[in-house]
């Protein structure tokens, strides 16, 4: 099977951050592989080890993103493509989707895999947009994958339980970080990653127009999460508390 896994370099959410004058200030040096993408890479590697095939990772980003790509290669991916962007590029989910759709339009593969969202925006939109643009059968929020001849069996986490979905290949799927525990690259994998092929292509070579790359959404600003009001405490006998709570829900909250 041929797997393409789209990965993204994102800020470390555990790094210190602050909001100042409506702007989000993060530690620019602490960049990591998006956790959801790491799970997508891990699952592709598990299926490759079970059924054979090839895993290639694809990432869009500045030259610094090559460090993140090397981590995926150290995990066990066979090769990589780095779509290099300018440092000032400001993309949203639609921009990333159009870039990926253009890149994949002439590629052959069985499964196109992405993390279900990225840690920096948590938008969770790129995967579905790419699937629509490429006219691929698609499932989201996968917590398990199994491959059979000509199809992918997706265990999906729904709102009320788990669903089993059968997708014909080629197909697209987005992966939850609840899917697995991504392997930590060992020394052998890290050394091997330095010898694995990583093709770098300029974004301009894909032939996208400025309008296609322009973000359709704009972040107006950031602000601190408001503090929650203190909860109300009740004292007394259980039946008295129940009557008081019911009265408050009826008269103040208007939910009864």
Residue 256: its pLDDT value, please?
A: 61
Residue 13: its pLDDT value, please?
A: 78
E-state strands within the chain: 2-7, 9-11, 17-20, 23-26, 31-33, 54-61, 79-84, 111-115, 138-148, 151-157, 162-168, 171-175, 198-202
Q: How confident is the prediction for the chain on average, in pLDDT?
A: 91
- Model confidence over 130-172: pLDDT tens digits? 999 999 999 999 999 999 989 999 999 878 888 999 999 999 9
Confidence class of residue 255 from pLDDT cuts 50, 70 and 90?
low
* Whole-angstrom distance, CA of residue 232 vs CA of residue 52: 59
Label residue 131 exposed, middle or buried (CB < 10 Å: 0-12, 13-18, 19+): buried
Whether 122 shows a pLDDT value over 70: the answer reads yes
Residue 81: its pLDDT value, please?
A: 97
Residue 204: its pLDDT value, please?
A: 93
Own/partner pairs, 132-138, CB within 8 angstroms, 24+ separation: 133/97, 133/98, 133/101, 134/101, 134/104, 134/105, 134/172, 136/112, 136/170, 136/171, 136/172, 137/167, 137/168, 137/171, 137/172, 138/167, 138/171, 138/172, 138/173
Residue 88: its pLDDT value, please?
A: 61
- Model confidence over 50-73: pLDDT tens digits? 999 999 999 999 999 999 999 999
* Whole-angstrom distance, CA of residue 54 vs CA of residue 5: 11
Residue 94: its pLDDT value, please?
A: 93
Q: In the chain, where are the structural domains located?
A: 2-213
CATH of 2-213, one of 3.40.50.620, 3.40.50.2300, 3.20.20.300, 3.40.640.10: 3.40.50.620
- Model confidence over 9-27: pLDDT tens digits? 998 877 777 888 887 777 6
Report the predicted TM-score, pTM, of the whole model to 2 decimal places: 0.84
- Model confidence over 192-206: pLDDT tens digits? 999 999 999 999 999
Residue 253: its pLDDT value, please?
A: 64
């Amino acid at each position: 099977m041929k797997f393409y896994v789209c990965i993204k370099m994102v800020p470390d959410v555990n790094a210190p951050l602050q909001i100042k004058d409506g702007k989000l200030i993060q530690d620019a040096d602490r960049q990591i592989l998006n956790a959801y993408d790491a799970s997508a890479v891990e699952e592709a590697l598990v299926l490759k080890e079970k059924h054979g095939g090839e895993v290639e990772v694809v990432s869009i980003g500045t030259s610094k993103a090559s460090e993140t790509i090397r981590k995926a290669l150290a995990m066990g991916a066979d090769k990589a493509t780095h779509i290099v962007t300018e440092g000032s590029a400001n993309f949203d989910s639609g921009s990333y989707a159009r870039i990926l759709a253009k890149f994949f339009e002439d590629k052959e593969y069985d499964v196109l895999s992405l993390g279900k969202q990225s840690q920096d925006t948590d938008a969770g939109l790129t995967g579905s947009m790419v699937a629509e643009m490429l006219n691929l059968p698609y499932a989201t929020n996968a917590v398990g994958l199994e491959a059979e001849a000509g199809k992918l069996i997706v265990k999906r986490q729904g709102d009320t339980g788990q669903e089993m979905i059968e997708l014909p290949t080629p197909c697209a799927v987005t992966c939850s970080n609840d899917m697995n525990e991504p392997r930590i690259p060992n020394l052998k994998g890290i050394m091997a990653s330095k010898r694995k092929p990583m093709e770098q292509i300029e974004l301009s070579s894909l032939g996208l127009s400025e309008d296609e790359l322009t973000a359709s959404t704009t972040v107006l600003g950031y602000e601190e999460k408001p503090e929650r009001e203190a909860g109300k405490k009740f004292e007394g006998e259980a039946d008295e508390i129940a009557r008081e709570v019911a009265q408050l829900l009826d008269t103040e909250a208007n939910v009864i």
